[in-house]
Amino acid sequence: MVYDASASGLNSCLWVPNFWLPSADGLVEGMDSHSWMGDLDMGEQFLNFPLHPDLQKFCGIDLRPFAPPGRKFTLWMRWTRCMMGLHLSPYFTGQSTYFAEELVVGNPHDPTNPFHWHSVRLNLPGAEDYSPDLPWVS
Q: Where are the domains of the chain?
A: 37-110
Q: What is the mean pLDDT of each run of 10 residues along the chain (138 residues)?
A: 75 83 67 68 75 85 80 78 85 83 86 85 92 87
For residue 115, what are the contacts with CB-CB under 8 A and spacing of at least 6? 105, 106, 108
pLDDT of residue 129: 92
pLDDT of residue 75: 77
pLDDT of residue 43: 60
pLDDT of residue 46: 79
pLDDT of residue 127: 93
DSSP state of 77: E
Cα distance between residue 14 and residue 17, in whole Å: 10
> Is 0.75 surpassed by the pTM of this model?
no
pLDDT of residue 40: 59
Cβ atoms of residues 93 and 84 within 8 Å: no
pLDDT of residue 42: 61
